[in-house]
């Protein structure tokens, strides 16, 4: 009798256990299915747009079929180049500040500012850079877009570089100092090279994060139907082209929007995978 | 170069970062003054947004933002918690785990504008059919479409943060519970989840911060209407999406100032969500000396 009570209870507990497992497995299955579906649609729809013209031709006039999005590909590289040139030195120097003043009140304050910056919606960065750069210059420009993206990538890069600096064994610095090397040289020539791979990863992730951003570019780089290498003038970018093309009534442009999306996703993924594979080593 | 100059250089960079942030607040406050002066406190609760008559009330967008984020959270929480629990507690094979991790990371790295594109081609037709089924206006675009895509976008963050929170539960607690003969479900709901609840809640808050400020996907899906949304199928706007769709076409200086004020409201809301999330996170990981 006692035994029956025991097995009865056990059975109901076992049933609950299985029920719970199903309860969490089904939604997880839905999530995985959605992810696969989205990826598959980007690849399948995007692949239809890809051909040589797509990569090397400029946009055709409204409504005409054909042409490509070379202006957006080049524009994306232009704004990203500006962004990284601005962001990397500031990210390096301010994460070195955090490294040197680790735990101090000022460093903690800076860390708080960095975390808060990280949470700023990208559209807000767009409107502020509009009034900082576009209004005084009286023109949209690749330059303004690059500045907006640099502010977007800064906080992420600072916290990542800070992390990789902290991973360098303190004995490196101590050994250098004990040999009489000035502190700044020890940091520049010993600590920074030791953290080089982390710095590279931070740069890669910063680029990956910024490459897909549209909101900060709408009011800064603005977009441009023509190929432009002028940093002082408006340029197009892959995300801008997606946003603009899908709103248009032309099927050919819709196809190109998907193509641009595939290109963008592949670029961001390649960066992420590259960094992921480095991290494992 | 010497140590003093080097330190000065570092301090300068740190100051620049702080000034960027201070400059953001300063610029937004100063630039939004014309609109705030005109509307006063009514800017926050006024329900009319009309650039032509220059009436600017932010209420429709505040409601739109709260509605889309809330619905997105309601959809995303059960899905993300389940996925996080499965990844953190049920998957034993390292192969499956790394596939799931990669998948989640891939989804997290897809740009928002691509989600918008996907939403336009996939979600909007679905929602349109649903609207016709229930007799609502069949726009397709609207609050529901935006919320659905928003939910999908925050799932990767929320589920990986849930997984991380569960993995931070000390192994000893779990082993002890198993040794006492508890079932997996009892260990998860009775030991692991209560232990990790603060970190999980922090993850939800941080995801909320993302949802509130998310711009492109929402702009592409919400239908850009400047009235207070009354149902799931209403067209609407969020704080972020109205800026994205109107800023470049601002009809007047007051109109532009009003959008600066919207950006300021958005910044403050997301700052509060992020601050709460981070405080909660440090409390969550601070427990149990880990």
Helix (H) or strand (E) holding A217: helix A215-218
For chain A, the domains span 2-47, 54-280
Q: What are phi and psi of A46, to 5 degrees?
A: -70, -40
Token pair, residue B12, equals 């300068």
Query: Which band of pLDDT confidence, cut at 50, 70 and 90, is reported for residue A5?
Result: low
pLDDT tens-digit profile of B259-285? 999 999 999 999 999 999 999 888 866
Contact B183 A30 (CB under 8 A): no
For residue A78, pLDDT over 70 is answered with yes
- Provide ipTM, 2 decimals: 0.93
User: Does residue B224 lie within any of the structural domains?
Assistant: yes
Query: Which band of pLDDT confidence, cut at 50, 70 and 90, is reported for residue B145?
Result: very high
Q: Is B266 exposed, middle or buried (CB count within 10 Å of its CB: 0-12, 13-18, 19+)? A: buried
Residues of B in contact with A76 (CB under 8 A): none
Query: Which band of pLDDT confidence, cut at 50, 70 and 90, is reported for residue B290?
Result: very low
State the total domains in chain B.
1
Share of residues in chain B with pLDDT > 90 (%): 83
Find the length of chain A: 281
Which CATH architecture best describes the domain A54-280? Answer: Orthogonal Bundle (1.10)
Of all residues in chain A, the one with the smallest CA distance to B274 is A119
**Within an 8 Å CB–CB cutoff, is residue B6 touching chain A?**
yes
Token pair, residue A46, equals 């995007």
User: Does residue B183 lie within any of the structural domains?
Assistant: yes
Q: Which DSSP symbol is given to A176?
A: H
pLDDT tens-digit profile of B93-131? 889 988 888 888 888 889 999 999 999 999 999 999 999
User: Does residue B270 lie within any of the structural domains?
Assistant: yes
Q: Which of helix, strand or coil describes residue B142? A: coil
User: Does residue B15 lie within any of the structural domains?
Assistant: no
The CATH number that applies at residue B85 is 1.10.3720.10
**Within an 8 Å CB–CB cutoff, is residue B79 touching chain A?**
yes
Closest Cα in chain B, distance from residue A78 (Å): 18
Share of residues in chain A with pLDDT > 90 (%): 83
What's the pLDDT score for residue A1?
Answer: 42
How far apart are the C-alpha atoms of A217 and A235, rounded to whole Å?
A: 10
The owner of tokens 């190929």 is A227
Of all residues in chain B, the one with the smallest CA distance to A212 is B111
End-to-end alpha-carbon separation of chain A, Å?
59
User: Does residue B258 lie within any of the structural domains?
Assistant: yes
* Cβ–Cβ under 8 Å, residues A157 and A87: yes
Q: Is B46 exposed, middle or buried (CB count within 10 Å of its CB: 0-12, 13-18, 19+)? A: middle
For residue B289, pLDDT over 50 is answered with no
User: CA of B112: how far to CAs of A36, B35, B53, B244, in Å?
Assistant: 17, 30, 33, 13
How far apart are the C-alpha atoms of A83 and A225, rounded to whole Å?
A: 22
Helix (H) or strand (E) holding B56: strand B55-56
The owner of tokens 């009309």 is B50
Q: Which of helix, strand or coil describes residue B50? A: strand
* Cβ–Cβ under 8 Å, residues A182 and A260: no
Which range marks the domain in which residue B206 is found? 43-289
User: Does residue B33 lie within any of the structural domains?
Assistant: no
Return the residue in A6, A87, A110, A123 with the most chain B beta carbons within 10 A, the one to mutate for interface testing. Answer: A123
Contact A113 B259 (CB under 8 A): no
User: Does residue B259 lie within any of the structural domains?
Assistant: yes
User: Does residue B269 lie within any of the structural domains?
Assistant: yes
What's the pLDDT score for residue A62?
Answer: 79
Token pair, residue A76, equals 């994306």
What's the pLDDT score for residue B282?
Answer: 84
């Amino acid at each position: 009798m006692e035994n029956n009570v025991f097995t009865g209870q056990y059975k109901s507990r076992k049933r609950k256990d299985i029920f719970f497992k199903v309860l969490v497995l089904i939604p997880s299955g839905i999530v995985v299915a959605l992810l696969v579906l989205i990826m598959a649609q980007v690849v399948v729809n995007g692949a239809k747009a890809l051909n040589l013209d797509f990569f090397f031709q400029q946009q055709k006039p409204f409504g005409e079929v054909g042409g490509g999005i070379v202006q957006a590909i080049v524009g994306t590289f232009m704004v990203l180049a500006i962004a990284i040139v601005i962001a990397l030195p500031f990210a390096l120097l301010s994460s070195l500040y955090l490294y040197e003043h680790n735990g101090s009140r000022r460093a903690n304050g800076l860390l708080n500012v960095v975390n808060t910056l990280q949470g700023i919606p990208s559209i807000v960065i767009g409107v502020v850079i509009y009034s900082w750069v576009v209004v005084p210059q009286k023109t949209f420009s690749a330059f303004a877009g690059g500045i907006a993206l640099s502010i977007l990538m800064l906080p992420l890069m600072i916290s990542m570089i800070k992390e990789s600096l902290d991973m360098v064994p303190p004995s490196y610095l101590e050994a250098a100092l004990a040999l009489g090397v000035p502190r700044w040289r020890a940091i520049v020539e010993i600590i920074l090279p030791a953290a080089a791979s982390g710095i590279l990863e931070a740069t890669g992730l910063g680029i990956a994060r910024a490459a897909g951003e549209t909101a900060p570019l709408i009011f800064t780089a603005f977009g441009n139907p023509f190929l432009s290498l002028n940093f002082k003038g408006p340029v197009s970018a892959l995300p801008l082209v997606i946003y603009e093309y899908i709103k248009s009534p032309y099927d050919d442009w819709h196809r190109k929007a998907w193509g641009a999306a595939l290109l963008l996703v592949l670029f961001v993924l390649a960066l992420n995978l590259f960094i992921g594979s480095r991290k494992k080593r | 170069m010497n140590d003093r100059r080097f330190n000065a250089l570092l301090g300068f960079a740190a100051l620049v970062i702080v000034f960027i942030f201070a400059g953001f607040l300063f610029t937004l406050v100063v630039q939004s003054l014309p609109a705030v002066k005109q509307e006063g406190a009514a800017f926050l609760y006024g329900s009319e947004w009309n650039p032509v008559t220059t009436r600017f009330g932010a209420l429709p967008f505040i409601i739109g933002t709260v509605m889309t984020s809330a619905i997105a959270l309601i959809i995303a929480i059960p899905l993300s918690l389940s996925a996080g629990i499965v990844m953190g507690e049920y998957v034993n094979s390292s192969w499956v785990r790394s596939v799931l991790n990669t998948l989640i990371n891939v989804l997290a790295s897809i740009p928002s504008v691509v989600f918008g594109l996907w939403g336009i081609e996939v979600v909007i037709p679905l929602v349109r059919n649903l609207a016709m089924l229930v007799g609502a206006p069949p726009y397709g675009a609207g609050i529901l479409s935006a919320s659905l895509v928003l939910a999908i976008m925050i799932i990767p963050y929320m589920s990986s943060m849930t997984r991380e929170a569960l993995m931070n539960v000390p192994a000893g607690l779990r082993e002890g519970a198993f040794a006492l003969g508890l079932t997996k479900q009892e260990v998860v709901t009775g030991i692991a989840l209560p232990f990790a609840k603060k970190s999980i809640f922090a993850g939800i808050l941080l995801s909320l911060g993302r949802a509130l400020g998310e711009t492109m996907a929402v702009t592409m899906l919400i239908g850009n209407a400047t009235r207070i949304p009354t149902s799931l199928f209403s067209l609407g706007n969020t704080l972020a999406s109205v800026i994205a769709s109107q800023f470049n076409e601002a009809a007047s200086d007051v109109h532009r100032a009003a959008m600066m004020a919207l950006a300021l409201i958005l910044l403050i809301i997301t700052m509060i969500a992020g601050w709460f999330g981070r405080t909660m996170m440090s409390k969550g990981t601070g427990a149990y000396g880990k």
